[in-house]
Amino acid sequence: MNFVDMIIKKREGGKLSKEEIAFFVKGVTDGSLPDYQISSFLMAAFLKGMDTEETACLTMEMAHSGGMFDLSSVEGFKVDKHSTGGVADTTTLVLAPLVASVGVPVVKMSGRGLGFSGGTIDKLESIPGFRVDVSEEEALGFAKAGNIVLMSQTENLTPADKKLYALRDVTGTVDSIPLIAASIMSKKIAAGADGIVLDVKCGSGAFMKDLESAEKLATTMVEMGRHVGRKVTAVISGMDQPLGMNIGNSLEVMEAIHVLKGEVGGDLLEVSLILGANMLLLAGRVKTEAEGKALLLEQIKNGEGLKKFTELLRQQGGDIGIIEDFSLLPLSPAVLSVKAEKNGYLTHMDTALIGRAAQETGAGRAYKEQPLDFGAGIVMKKRLGDAITAGEEMAVIHSQTEQKCQSAASYIQQAITIGEKPEPLPPLILRIIS
Ligand code: URA
């Protein structure tokens, strides 16, 4: 097969056959296709799209590009969760221990940050000692003993996605519905859970900016799951402002601990409860979402969620001292307060730009191998709809240098619109598809 012909076919909007897609994924996996041709194909697929059949085929070829994780030896209905990527989106650290604490096994392989969006693995790695590289055998042991494991993808799982994900990140081909759907669903299918809850982010800080594309992505992924006999629910949630107040790796760990201690609520708690409740619904642990939310909230009140989080840290070598003493977590030394330039109300946030500001502090990567500054990031002080006066603090930036703080601050100033009158708040949950 001539791969250049395939690139041209897609460039002209043609439909690829099963054999052609299999050839592409094989060439990505075994390294026989060069990066420049893969990148060119990705751009053609980005611009011309792929239909449901092509996407399903790409998903399955990617899922089978490596090993499949067999969770059958873990008792019970295993649930997984995945976010399409957002800013201050720390729900996994909150909901995984809560769900596991009511007896539903959570076996979750997570990823690193992509573009302006953060990644659970980077957050976990900011915890001193925490080991994300867990073998499949060890993961099964953790799941059987404590119902929870949060780990990075094992080496042999979906190698095609690893390669494509890294290339998409640096070739402007991330926000494509078929490519995102295949990337996420191939990993989730290979990771073996019986049920999957997808958090499809929608808004200025998401890859899907409007409800129509979010619905298309959500439906595509639910269909891919159904195709292979997995139960899938997609929750479309708003990302028109950072979900939590903290953006950055150790800062987000701190906020998740606050939530698990019942010290803060807000949108991060609400979305975590809704996603968690839908995981319980898929597992048949509860009959309604409301029952699930109440059960998980109770696990915060009675301390069982925090206890499970502590177990998670202990089993994977993380310093459990961080739970009571945040000074054990990294926090970057240079600090800058970003002040409002006029009186008014916060009417709009370009959340991707706020994510970009966080990247600028060192909390995210501009290129694949870039080491992270785990203690860098932003603490937001205001939310959409809040009143603000000139000179009042909107955000606090943490970074290694004053210069990086300044550069992040200019993005934040650009990202936040202060209007004269408050505007209606965007909805937090837009739709649930299952
Ligand atoms: N998350 C993924 O795992 N893959 C994507 O393509 C986008 C978000």
**How does pLDDT run along the chain (434 residues), one tens digit per residue?**
899 999 999 999 999 999 999 999 999 999 999 999 999 999 999 999 999 999 999 999 999 999 999 999 999 999 999 999 999 999 999 999 999 999 999 999 998 887 778 899 999 999 999 999 999 999 999 999 999 999 998 889 999 999 998 899 889 998 899 999 999 999 999 999 999 999 999 999 999 999 999 999 999 999 999 888 899 999 999 999 999 999 999 999 999 999 999 999 999 999 999 999 999 999 999 999 999 999 999 999 999 999 999 999 999 999 999 999 999 999 999 999 999 999 999 999 999 999 999 999 999 987 777 899 999 999 999 999 999 999 999 999 999 999 999 999 999 999 999 999 999 999 999 999 98
Rounded CA gap, 101 and 95, in Å? 10
Burial zone of 333 (CB within 10 Å; 0-12 exposed, 13-18 middle, 19+ buried): exposed
Cα separation values, 360 from 106, 125, 400, 409, 433, Å: 33, 19, 11, 9, 35
Pocket test for ligand 1, best of 42, 180, 187, 220 (most atoms within 8 A of CB): 180
pLDDT at 191: 94
Q: 168 C-alpha vs ligand 1 centroid, how far in Å?
A: 10
Residues with CB under 6 A from ligand 1: 84-85, 111, 114, 165, 179-180, 183-184
Q: Residue 363: what residue type?
A: A
User: 123: closest CA among 309, 17, 247, 233?
Assistant: 247
Three-class DSSP category at 67: strand
- DSSP annotation of 225 reads H
Q: What is the signed CA dihedral for 381, 386, 390, 391, rounded to 10 degrees?
A: -10
Whole-number Å distance between alpha carbons of 160 and 208: 23
Cα 188 to Cα 108: distance, rounded to the nearest angstrom: 9
Burial class (CB in 10 A: 0-12, 13-18, 19+), 148: buried
The total of other beta-carbon atoms located within 10 Å of residue 325's CB is 9
With CA atoms as reference, report the closest residue to 256 among 417, 126, 151, 116.
Answer: 126
Find the 187 Cα to ligand 1 centroid distance in Å.
9
Structural domains present in the chain? 3-63 (1.20.970.10), 79-323 (3.40.1030.10), 331-419 (3.90.1170.30)
Report d(CA 399, CA 358) in Å as an integer: 9
Edge-to-edge strand list for the sheet holding 231-238: 148-152, 106-110, 79-83, 195-202, 231-238, 429-433
Residue 317 to residue 32: CA distance in whole angstroms = 38
pLDDT at 166: 86
DSSP 8-state symbol, 324: T
Identify the pLDDT of residue 170. 83
390 φ/ψ sector (left φ>0, alpha ψ -120 to 50, else beta) = beta
What pLDDT is attached to residue 1?
A: 86
Candidate from 59, 122, 165 with most ligand 1 atoms within 8 A of CB, to mutate: 165
Q: Any catalytic annotation for residue 26?
A: no
